[in-house]
Structures are given as structure tokens and as C-alpha cells.
């Protein structure tokens, strides 16, 4: 299975393939009609792991697409994209529960409850025994890797379901994504449709970019900037699983945040940026392919949000706080590192080869260690309710116990 991504923040599409037998491919677009496989150098080769289902999302909102895929015989992966435009590098941040192998068919990354954070849904097939579908929330943290927590998926667990594919769309037009699961292969089962029973008061925006011919713009990148949570990026991709195709819509859950402007980048290099009106929130917005005169600087000044500023081309770009404000960091943490939409301050600590300073610079940790969330309990819930043909409302709830486990990462021990 393959998905199209952009390793840089440009418009050229690269290709990631997770393979059923053999190592994965990561083909970088050279811009001249040729591609180069950099999977091994980037750390995503993962040989002989029986990959099934792959999806792309920007989990830490740094403008770069991250990779999630499922394995039957090896761990599921959540590869966070690091590096820059010249050096492609990924780090697996999957937690112990997230990485547990399963007979996965489809992987979906979406904001089901519109709370401004993405969830990852694993659709499994009951193959040689029960195998429930699973749901995880991946929460961005400003100074650290995203936090991963398993959620209660409710009736959508389908432990005996013979899932052959899953997709999301807004069937009833309420702004919340609904979940469609197909079944079959080893036994006939009907389609299942589920709606989320949370997030009804959260704001949202759905964006549909079009090509110059009016078709859906597969491969386009859509970025929505907000006042408080920064930019949110979506790729109009073809699909993320076995025998299924995703809708050509960029869905954004906004929570209580305010979206200020939208940018769309087409695969041929065309782009457009424009402000969002308050009346356009909680609606479906179609963006047509730009004419020549529409590609320039917008006539109305765009509000990019905290950590960003509009450049001379009318696009939002990251502010370099470390350069603009040399004294931005305190004296006990004087080393400033610019990040996408923000910055980090850490102590001036040097580490041996193979190690790097942790977030505050107080210790050296392995470069590929997963600095898991500290003292995390699974209290925030999200569950699905079954939808009948008439979409009648069925209420149910399920408490999830607070559980914590301890494990050691190189010489750094944490509780997560």
C-alpha cells in the first residue's frame, strides 16, 4: 500500500510504500521525473514486517507529514518526520499499546470529535480468532513528542468483525466524521456505519480543492491557520487501506479555536491563500484552481496566528524567534532552537555520539528513545455509537480505567 507525501514543505509529491513482504520504500521526488528510494537512510525501511494499511498526518503540527502504518507480524509504527529539506529522517514514537501487532486492514488518521487533535483508527479483521478495532488519540505537545493514549471505541470495536476496509465521511452533514466499515473475505457480514457521540459543540471546517478541470484535487495540500493552535495540514490522498478509498476532503476539527486563513498547494506548484470569514466556519468550503491573477499576494492582510507572519508572497511563514529576539531564552537555558511556530530553550549540555539532550537539556538520552508521556492516565474518552439506516440515536457510555505502566528507555526511566 502506498501514500503520497511531501518530505519538505514544498509541493512535490513523494511516495511511501509499506510492503507485505520485504522492506518499505520511500521514494523522494527529484523534480525531474525520477525518484530515489531513501527508506533505509530515513529509518523507515522496516524489513520483513508484513505491512498493511498506511496513512499520513501532521501529528505535531510542524508542517511535515508523519507516517502511520500497521503490521501483522511486527509492531505498528508512528514515524514522526524529523530533519529538514536536505536530510530525511524519521523517529518511531509509537507507544507499547499502539505498536501491538494486529491483522490490520486499514489505518485512518482523523479528528473524529473535532477537538483539534487527531485520532488513529486501526481496522482489524477477525483472522484466526477475535481482533478488535482500536482507537488512539495523538495529542500534540509544544515541547516534546506527541502523547498517545488509547480510547474507548465503543461498539465500533467489532471483535468478530471481518473488516476488509474502512473510510470516513460526514454522512449526515453535522460536521462530525462518521465511520464506514466494510466486511467480508472469509464470511459475509453487512456494512457498519458509526457516528461519534462527542464533540457536538466543537467547531470544524471541511475544504475541497478542485483541479483546473473541476475534478477533486488528489495530491493537494491544505493548510488552515488558527489563532491559538497554529497550522493544521491535510493531504488529499487516495486511500489508506485495503480495498477502500478516502474522501477527497480536508477535514479540520477546530475545537474552540478560531481559523483565520487557508492555503492550498496543488501538485503542479500552483497555490492560493486567502482569509477565512467567520461565516465560513462550520461549513464545507470549495477552493477552485487559481487563475494567474489569483496567485499573487492577497489584497486583504492575512492573520497567520502566533509564531507566524505573512511574507511578501502573502503566505504564512514561521517566525525565527531565536534570531529576532536573541534574549528570548533564560540564562539557565540559553540555547535557543527555532521550531515551526515556536522555539525551544535548553541548557548548554553536550552529549556523546548517539545521544542528544532531552527537552530541557538536563540529561542525555538515546537519539531514538521514545520519551514517553509522564504520568499519563487514560481518562479522556471517545466512543462510537451504532447508526441505524435512519441514523437514530443510541446512547451508551463506558468508563475506561486509569492505567499506568513503567518501562525503561536506554538509561532514562519514565512513567507513562
Which among 271, 281, 196, 267 is positioned nearest to 237, based on CA atoms? 267
Query: Rounded to an integer, what distance in angstroms lies between the CA atom of residue 95 and that of residue 68?
Result: 12
pLDDT at 261: 94
pLDDT at 336: 82
Give residues with Cβ within 8 angstroms of 149, minimum separation 6.
Answer: 136, 137, 139, 376, 378, 380
pLDDT at 341: 75
pLDDT at 10: 61
pLDDT at 70: 92
pLDDT digits (tens, 9 = 90+) for 340-385: 777 778 887 778 876 777 766 677 876 543 333 333 333 333 445 5
Q: 412 burial class (0-12, 13-18, 19+ CB within 10 angstroms)?
A: middle
Residues making up the chain, counted from first to last: 416
Alpha helix stretches (DSSP H) within 193-352: 321-324
Which among 95, 81, 100, 151 is positioned nearest to 373, based on CA atoms? 95
The residues of the chain scoring below 50 in pLDDT are 368-383, 386-416
Question: Residue ranges per domain, the chain?
Answer: 2-319+374-415
pLDDT at 250: 98
Give residues with Cβ within 8 angstroms of 292, minimum separation 6.
Answer: none
pLDDT digits (tens, 9 = 90+) for 287-313: 999 987 666 566 667 777 777 877 877
DSSP states along 273-295:
EEE--GGGTTSEEEEPPPPGGGS
Query: Rounded to an integer, what distance in angstroms lies between the CA atom of residue 157 and that of residue 141?
Result: 28
Amino acid at each position: 500500500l502506498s501514500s503520497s507525501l511531501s518530505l519538505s514543505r514544498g509541493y512535490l509529491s513523494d511516495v511511501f510504500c509499506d510492503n507485505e513482504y520485504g522492506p518499505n520504500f520511500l521514494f523522494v521526488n527529484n523534480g525531474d521525473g525520477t525518484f530515489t528510494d531513501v527508506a533505509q537512510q530515513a529509518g523507515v525501511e522496516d524489513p520483513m514486517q508484513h505491512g498493511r494499511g498506511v496513512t499520513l498526518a501532521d501529528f505535531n503540527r510542524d508542517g511535515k507529514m508523519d507516517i502511520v502504518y500497521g503490521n501483522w507480524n511486527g509492531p505498528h509504527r508512528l514515524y514522526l518526520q524529523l530533519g529538514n529539506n536536505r536530510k530525511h529522517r524519521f523517529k518511531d514514537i509509537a507507544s507499547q499499546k499502539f505498536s501491538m501487532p494486529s491483522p490490520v486492514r486499514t489505518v485512518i488518521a482523523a479528528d473524529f470529535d473535532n477537538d483539534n487533535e487527531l485520532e488513529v483508527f486501526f481496522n482489524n479483521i477477525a483472522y484466526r480468532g477475535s481482533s478488535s478495532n482500536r482507537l488512539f488519540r495523538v495529542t500534540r505537545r509544544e515541547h516534546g513528542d506527541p502523547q498517545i493514549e488509547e480510547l474507548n471505541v465503543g461498539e465500533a470495536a467489532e471483535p468478530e468483525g471481518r473488516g476488509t476496509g474502512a473510510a470516513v465521511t460526514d454522512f449526515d452533514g453535522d460536521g462530525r466524521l462518521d465511520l464506514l466499515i466494510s466486511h467480508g473475505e472469509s464470511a459475509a457480514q453487512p456494512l457498519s456505519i458509526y457516528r461519534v457521540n462527542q464533540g457536538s459543540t466543537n467547531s470544524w471546517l471541511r475544504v475541497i480543492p478542485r483541479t483546473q478541470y473541476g475534478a477533486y484535487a488528489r495530491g493537494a495540500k491544505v493548510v488552515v491557520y488558527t489563532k491559538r493552535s497554529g497550522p493544521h495540514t491535510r493531504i488529499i490522498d487516495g486511500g489508506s487501506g485495503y480495498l477502500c478509498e478516502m474522501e477527497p476532503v480536508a477535514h479540520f476539527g477546530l475545537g474552540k479555536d478560531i481559523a483565520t486563513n487557508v492555503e492550498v498547494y496543488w501538485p503542479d506548484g500552483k497555490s492560493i491563500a486567502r482569509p477565512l470569514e467567520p461565516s465560513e466556519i462550520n461549513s464545507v468550503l470549495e477552493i477552485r484552481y487559481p487563475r494567474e491573477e489569483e496567485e499573487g499576494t492577497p489584497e486583504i492582510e492575512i492573520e497567520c496566528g502566533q509564531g507566524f507572519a505573512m511574507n511578501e508572497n502573502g503566505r504564512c511563514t514561521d517566525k525565527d524567534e531565536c534570531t529576532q529576539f536573541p534574549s528570548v531564552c533564560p540564562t539557565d537555558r540559553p540555547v535557543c532552537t527555532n521550531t515551526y511556530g515556536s522555539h525551544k530553550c535548553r541548557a548548554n549540555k553536550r552529549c556523546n555520539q548517539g545521544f542528544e539532550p532531552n527537552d530541557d537539556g538536563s540529561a542525555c538520552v538515546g537519539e531514538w528513545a521514545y520519551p514517553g508521556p509522564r504520568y499519563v492516565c487514560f481518562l479522556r474518552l471517545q466512543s462510537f455509537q451504532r447508526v441505524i439506516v435512519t441514523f437514530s440515536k443510541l446512547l451508551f457510555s463506558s468508563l475506561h480505567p486509569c492505567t499506568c505502566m513503567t518501562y525503561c528507555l536506554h538509561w532514562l526511566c519514565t512513567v507513562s
